Amino acid sequence: MKRENYLALSIIFFLATTLSVQAQNFLPGFNGFSKKKTTYVHLEDGTTTEGNLKGFNYKKGLIKAIYIKDASENKVKIEPKDIVFMYLPPSKLAKLNNFGKFITDAQQWKNKDLDQNLFKEGYTFFEKSEVQIKKKTQTLMVQLVNPDFSNKIKVYQDPFAGETASIGIGPLKAGGIAKSYYVKKDGEKVAIRLKKKNYEEEFKEFFGDCPAMIEKYSDGIKWSEFAKHIYEYTNECN
């Protein structure tokens, strides 16, 4: 088999495998954003501020304030207390680093409450949430990574999370997942940090209101199936 044919078949297999499980996957979290494409910030007063990104203030890697150059070329600082949600365009380098996951973004974002056209262009979605940072609670902007199955539990990127080992060559890698996320169950106001090392012992408390899941996974709880657990809890538990 010619090298180019082998490579083409490898890519097709990779895409098919990725698409077959995408419904139960988290979207990739991005830490780098474009300053050339338009950023859209939807405010509490019902208006939208559009412009090129200038920078951020951070708290533990999460966005504490955003700076935008508006249509009048003014640099505007916007804090989470004034924001409902926003769409940010990842940088080209950030997209490249997330190649294996990013290629299916447009297919995964099917939540009708979100802007499908922006997601097809590769934008990410952030919303305001209270977040527990150690013993304090802060109002920050966090990236939602499970838009299709977030009505019971919202999962947000942890920018400081390490990743499990991945397998593959070059950009065609799979298997690496974050070792922690911020999570918020329906009815709760504050997102808390959930870590891989604590997942097995916290599983029963986290999903304890769904006896079927506790029984199903009584013989083995895997962090690598966290997205699957959230998906099943959302779609199969009352």
Among the ranges given (49-53, 98-102, 143-147), the one the predictor scored with the smallest mean pLDDT: 98-102
Do residues 64 and 82 touch, judged by C-beta distance below 8 A? Answer: no
Q: Name the pLDDT band for 136 (thresholds 50, 70, 90).
A: very high
* Statement: residue 145 has pLDDT above 50: yes
Task: Give the pTM.
Answer: 0.81
Alpha-carbon distance of 15 to 20, in angstroms, equals 8
pLDDT digits (tens, 9 = 90+) for 187-196: 999 999 999 9
Residue 215 inside a domain? The answer is no
Residue 177 inside a domain? The answer is yes
Segment holding 8, helix H or strand E:
helix 3-21
pLDDT digits (tens, 9 = 90+) for 68-112: 998 888 999 999 999 999 999 988 766 655 544 544 444 455 667
Do residues 152 and 143 touch, judged by C-beta distance below 8 A? Answer: no
Q: Of 117, 168, 152, 161, give the one whose Cα is nearest residue 29.
A: 161
Contacts of 225 (CB under 8 A, 6+ apart): none
Residue 26 inside a domain? The answer is yes
Q: What would the two tokens of residue 69 be?
A: 């150059």
Residue 214 inside a domain? The answer is no
Measured torsion, CA atoms of residues 196, 158, 105, 220, in degrees rounded to the nearest 10: 10
**Percent of the chain clearing pLDDT 90 (strictly above):** 53
Residue 209 inside a domain? The answer is no
Range of the domain at 36: 3-195
Residue 237 inside a domain? The answer is no
Instruction: State how many domains the chain has.
Output: 1
Q: Of 218, 232, 83, give the one whose Cα is nearest residue 152.
A: 232
Residue 43 inside a domain? The answer is yes
Contacts of 149 (CB under 8 A, 6+ apart): 230, 231, 234, 235
Segment holding 157, helix H or strand E:
strand 153-157
Q: Please report, for residues 35, 152, 199, 202, 204, the alpha-carbon distance to residue 209 in angstroms, rounded to integers and kept in the order given.
A: 44, 12, 16, 13, 9
Give the per-residue pLDDT at 7: 47
Residue 205 inside a domain? The answer is no
Do residues 166 and 178 touch, judged by C-beta distance below 8 A? Answer: no
